[in-house]
Amino acid sequence: MVRTPGFHPVNRGSIPLGAAIKYKNMDYTNLKNQDSEIFLNIEREVKRQTEEMELIASENYVSKAVLEAMATVLTNKYSEGYPGKRYYGGNQVIDDVETIAIERAKKLFQAEHVNVQPLSGSPANASVYFAFLKPGDKVLGLRLDHGGHLSHGHPVNFSGLLYDFVQYSADSETGRVDMDAVESIAKKEKPKMIVAGYSAYSREIEWQRFKEIADQVGAIAFADIAHTAGLIAANEMDNPVPIFDVVSTTTHKTLRGPRGAMIMCKTEHAKKIDRAVFPGMQGGPHDHITAAKAVAFGETQKPEFKIYARQVIKNCQALSDKLINLGYKIISNGTDNHLIVIDLSKNGLVGKDAEQTLEQVGISISRSTIPNDPNPPYNPSGIRIGTPAITTRGMKEAEMEQIAVWIDNALNNKNNQNKLTSIKEEVKTMCLNFPIPSI
């Protein structure tokens, strides 16, 4: 037998499945030994998440299984293309993983076609626009200060720079999108696309009516369900996927999966969407994240997730009721989903101050604009609060009442350091009583 010089292989048999994936390193000792600086910062973040109250509406805690799927050797692979049609060899396993993710997503949302490769919500939306529009084409989107997302045509975002966005509004009295106004703007402007689905909007969206309006003017109906996808998958909110031409969603908000996104569409648009994502917008997909998406979709199919989604909404309504009871003005006077927007203008507060005060008591929220906000987005008149993360910790209506009282107490005592410190201790005690499932 001729041997290559220096190459003396020892036959070790093959690695048995199961043994290969024993995560000796998942206790983080390698990370700790090799890079104590980053390790320490991760520890600090674990502590922060454990001890503090997460009320940011777009955040959640993934399961251990989802975390483990992300930390795998799948990150090593290049797999440009789609299952069965890759531009790189060695993709047999990745093809199977991606196919499982696609099939689970199809079933969850009754989708005809799914692309699970988008890297995050904004890039997914860029791909949707890229699939259907040319630069300069007219699109209808909800104003950012009324609850829309930056990628729905805000002037500082690529969407607003590349496309001719015309914005529709939420009614400042009811806080709800005025569908008659949408219809008349659509008829006047004749857009190529209408975008519905928002970031700071607490009510059901009239998907059927949007689709009818889009059909009347020959526009593509595009829904962005980044925030509510988990509630929709659990049948707790109306599903636009069977109605709309195309639907994008992040996978890391109420869907409780890894940071990422996907696009769902009718079969007739499948080729356009796939081509827009790759090679149009992205290179290789993040296969470890695809695996984690599949795991999350598997969790979403379980009865426990339906109970979770229902509790998210019940919690949000309890929080909203208590805050109204304490004298706060909630946009639209309540909520159908996982978030509320509070108008603080009558409390003599602005969003940034409220955010900073609540941070001092260990409660994370995000500042938010209110419809027709006189203040700029960096320092708007409201705050947005959501219940997906605290519901994952197992908190229920009784805890919501207490949280509302803490928020009120903190905002009323923003210059009383002793008071804020004592609230912070109480918040921490509650958090430690409701451990994060993956920590």
The residues assigned a catalytic role are 78, 80, 224, 250, 253, 259
Site for ligand PLP in 47-66 (CB under 6 A): 58
Q: Which residues of 45-57 are buried (b: 16+ CB within 10 A; e: fewer)?
A: eeeebeebbbbbb
Measured from the CB of residue 154, what is the shortest distance to ligand PLP in angstroms?
11
Determine if 226 is a binding residue for ligand PLP (CB under 6 A): yes
Write down the least CB distance from residue 349 to ligand PLP, Å: 24
| Contact between 391 and ligand PLP per CB under 6 A | no
Q: Residue 397 burial by CB count (10 A; 0-12/13-18/19+): exposed, middle or buried?
A: middle
Shortest distance (Å) from residue 57 CB to ligand PLP: 9
Residue 65, judged by CB atoms within 10 A of its CB (0-12, 13-18, 19+), counts as middle
Taking only Cα atoms into account, the Rg of the chain, rounded to an integer number of angstroms, comes to 23
Structure tokens, 21: 């994936």
Q: How many residues bind ligand PLP (CB under 6 A)?
A: 14
Nearer to ligand PLP by C-beta: 121 or 362? 121
**For ligand PLP, what does the binding mask look like between residues 75 and 114, x meaning CB under 6 A?**
----------------------------------------
Told to check if 122 binds ligand PLP by CB under 6 A, we report: yes
What is the distance between the alpha carbons of residues 204 and 339, in angstroms, rounded to a whole number? Answer: 12
- Scanning the structure block, which residue is given the tokens 């706060």? 328
Does the footprint of ligand PLP cover residue 227 (CB under 6 A)? Answer: yes
199 binds ligand PLP (CB under 6 A): yes
Burial (CB count <10 Å: 0-12, 13-18, 19+), residue 432: exposed
Cis peptide before 279 (omega within 30 of 0): yes
Nearer to ligand PLP by Cβ, of 149 and 211: the residue is: 149
Token digits of residue 178: 């005025």
Question: Considering only 115-123, 133-141, 168-176, 309-317, which stretch makes contact with ligand PLP by CB under 6 A?
Answer: 115-123
Residue with tokens 């905002």: 411
CA atoms in the 13 A half-sphere facing the CB of 240: 29
Q: Mark the segment that binds ligand PLP (CB under 6 A) among 17-25, 105-113, 121-129, 239-247.
A: 121-129
CB of 259 to ligand PLP, least distance (A): 7
Instruction: Choose which of 82, 198, 210, 305 interacts with ligand PLP (CB under 6 A).
Output: 198
Q: Of residues 81, 121, 160, 351, which one binds ligand PLP by CB under 6 A?
A: 121
Beta strands 220-224 and 193-196, pairing class = parallel
Window 323-342: residues binding ligand PLP (CB under 6 A): none
Q: Which residues contact 398 (CB under 8 A, 6 or more apart)?
A: none
Task: Give CA–CA dist 80/66, Å, rounded.
Answer: 23
368/381 with CB nearer ligand PLP: 368
- In the complex, minimum distance from the CB of residue 262 to ligand PLP, in angstroms, rounded to a whole number: 11
118 binding ligand PLP? (CB under 6 A):
no
Q: How far, in Å, CA of 227 to CA of 198, rounded? A: 7
If one asks whether residue 368 binds ligand PLP (CB under 6 A), the answer comes out as: no
- Of 77, 113, 143, 149, the one binding ligand PLP (CB under 6 A) is 149
Minimum CB distance to ligand PLP, residue 149 (Å): 4
Angle subtended by helix axes 417-433 and 36-51, to nearest 10 = 90
Can you give the binding site for ligand PLP, defined by CB under 6 A?
Answer: 58, 120-122, 125, 149, 151, 197-199, 224, 226-227, 250
